[in-house]
Amino acid sequence: ACNDFTSHVINLLREQSRARPISPREIDRMVSIIRKKFSSIQLQLKQSTCEAVMILRSRFLDAR
């Protein structure tokens, strides 16, 4: 998902570069920001999933 979204943003920036100059450095910076945000979201998702599994596990053990 991250690679698809990043590719899409790069294509949009290249299209916009016809209207105003966008340096490769700006594009790299944007890609870096996107990757950091995706990484953060991925970490939050893993934490939420782990918490949910632990809650279900404790409920299952309590029900025994």
Predicted local confidence at residue 63, as pLDDT: 79
Locate the domains of the chain by residue range.
2-63
Q: Which own/partner pairs from 18-23 qualify as long-range (CB within 8 Å, at least 24 positions apart)?
A: none
Taking alpha carbons only, the member of 40, 35, 42, 13 closest to residue 26 is 13
Cβ pair 7, 30 in contact under 8 A: no
pLDDT digit string (tens) for 4-52? 999 999 999 989 988 999 988 999 999 999 999 999 999 999 999 999 9
Predicted local confidence at residue 62, as pLDDT: 83
- Given a cut of 80, is residue 64 above it in pLDDT? no
pLDDT interval class at 2 (50, 70, 90): confident
Place of tokens 């290249």: 14
Predicted local confidence at residue 61, as pLDDT: 85
